[in-house]
């Protein structure tokens, strides 16, 4: 069973901030911003590549509620999902990083020259 399935099953503790029948949101153990929440579907889906539009519809509403719950809805935030090797995905269970609570940086995301493909 994958790490996040164990969190869903409460076999591994986490700081849950919101949960319903289909989704769960908890604090990232290694936060990269004052607010850093992971929102995941309870169904095991490896990455965004494999998720259905039905699951994404519910995920959208759930993440909007996470933003409200964390009081970052008005101040702004960022949602990221890493996909595969180049995306830097470490945990192979679809998860969305919800980051906020401060002005976020937006800088070069790779060591390659971003203009080399133009």
Footprint of ligand AMP (CB under 6 A): 3, 12, 14, 28-30, 38, 82, 88-91
By beta-carbon proximity to ligand AMP, the closer residue of 55 and 81 is 81
- In this structure, what token pair is assigned to residue 24? 């769960």
Please tell me which residue in 36, 44, 93, 95 is annotated as part of the active site.
95
Cα 61 to chain centroid distance, Å, stands at: 14
Residue 84 in 3-state DSSP?
A: helix
The closest of 29, 34, 33, 32 to 7, measured between CA atoms, is 29
> Is 95 one of the catalytic residues?
yes
Query: C-beta of 45: minimal distance to ligand AMP in Å?
Result: 13
- In this structure, what token pair is assigned to residue 53? 């539009």
Query: C-beta of 118: minimal distance to ligand AMP in Å?
Result: 27
* Cα angle: 113, vertex 99, 46; to 5 degrees: 75
By beta-carbon proximity to ligand AMP, the closer residue of 67 and 94 is 94
By beta-carbon proximity to ligand AMP, the closer residue of 12 and 57 is 12
- In this structure, what token pair is assigned to residue 38? 């992971």
Query: C-beta of 82: minimal distance to ligand AMP in Å?
Result: 4
Please give the positions annotated as active site.
95
């Amino acid at each position: 069973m994958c790490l996040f399935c164990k969190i869903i099953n409460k076999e591994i503790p986490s700081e849950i901030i919101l949960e319903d029948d289909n989704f769960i949101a908890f604090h990232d153990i290694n936060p990269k911003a004052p607010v850093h929440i992971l929102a995941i579907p309870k169904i095991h889906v490896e990455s965004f590549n494999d998720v259905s539009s039905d699951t994404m519809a519910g995920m959208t509403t759930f993440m909007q509620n996470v933003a409200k719950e964390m009081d970052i809805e008005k101040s702004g935030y960022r949602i990221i999902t890493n996909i595969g090797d180049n995306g830097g995905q470490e945990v192979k269970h679809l998860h969305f990083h919800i980051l906020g609570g401060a002005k976020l940086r937006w800088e070069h995301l790779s060591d390659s020259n971003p203009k080399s493909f133009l």
